[in-house]
Amino acid sequence: MAKYSFQIITDSSCDMPEAYLKEHEIACVDLGLQIDGKLYNGEEGTPISAPDFYAKLRGGAMPTTFQVTPEQVKSHIEPFLKAGKDVLVIAFSSGLSGTAHSFQVAAEDLMKKHHGRKVLVVDSLAASMGEGLLLDYAIKKAESGASIEETAAYAESIKLHICHWFTVEDLFHLKRGGRVSAATAMVGTLLNIKPVLHVDDEGHLINMSKAMGRKKSIRALVERMEELNSIGKDDPVFISHGDCIDDANFLADLVKKRFGEREIMIHYVGPVIGTHSGAGTLALFFMGTHR
């Protein structure tokens, strides 16, 4: 149960388990997508689970995502303001989406309407469970007794230390989104070259290196963690996967062998992020010296 007086809101791009959000009383704005002309998730779409989404993706579906509007966001924030609670938002990276901007527009409008109430928006500059990891640290700060201002300032101070390193099984969706060139995708597929990517300080997706084959690309994620990590014994590590749980467990075992037993949360890359990264995406998130 929440131990703080204000409300924390996030969006579904954080890819955190529903049980976690419920346990910590986190409100979540569900972002939507479209597949074959049909809306899924979001405000008005048909619910779709991650396994069902990836089944469609592997079957050749070409999903697209769309922008959540300030008005849609307001409907999630305003009830808490009316109940006398201030709101802290941890939002999907502005380097990848307009979600944070929609939250900021909504916050400004609502604070004018509800004088004396606060809506503070933290642009996570993060994606998937990188956003989720920042959310986790913010929750723990709030539960320690920090005010909304102190919690927001803390999240801002650590967000560029939330490291995102990931690899993909199939380069097609990165090519479709303009993240890699058509030539790179073709050669990489033919030679079984797997990219190793991260999210930079501006919240953008950056191709950093290449590895020959899946296992080497997964080991490369742990190597990056060895170079950058500044995790303490109680700091969590998160892993998200695009319907490849065996690879996620393999990665978790590698992390434990190198860094010892610790909390590792494993969950799906959700449909919105999965639209752009594809099935077989595997991502590692941890606290680092820098991104």
Q: Are 155 and 28 in the same domain?
A: yes
**Domain presence at residue 2:** no
Best CA proximity match to 271, nearest among 60, 67, 41, 103:
41
Domain boundary among 115, 131, 159: 159
Same domain? 70 vs 128: yes
Backbone angles phi, psi at 125, to 5 degrees: 50, 35
CA–CA distance, 65 with 67 (Å, rounded to integer): 7
Together in a domain, 209 and 266: yes
Residue 148 in domain: yes
Which CATH number do you get for residue 202? 3.30.1180.10
Q: Residue 236: which of 143, 133, 119, 153 has the closest Cα?
A: 133
- pTM for the structure as a whole: 0.93
Boundaries of domain holding 102: 7-159
Which residue, of 110, 143, 159, is where some domain finishes?
A: 159
Residue 13 carries which DSSP code? G
Could you read off the pLDDT tens digit of each residue along the chain, which spans 291 residues?
Answer: 467 889 999 999 999 999 999 999 999 999 999 999 999 999 889 999 999 999 999 999 999 999 999 999 999 999 999 999 999 999 999 999 999 999 999 999 999 999 999 999 999 999 999 999 999 999 999 999 999 999 999 999 999 999 999 998 876 666 666 656 665 655 556 557 787 888 999 998 777 777 878 899 999 999 999 999 888 888 999 999 999 999 999 999 999 999 988 889 999 999 999 998 899 999 999 999 999
Residues 155 and 173 in one domain: no
Q: Are residues 283 and 170 in the same domain?
A: yes
CATH number at residue 61: 3.40.50.10170
Q: Report how many domains make up the chain.
A: 2
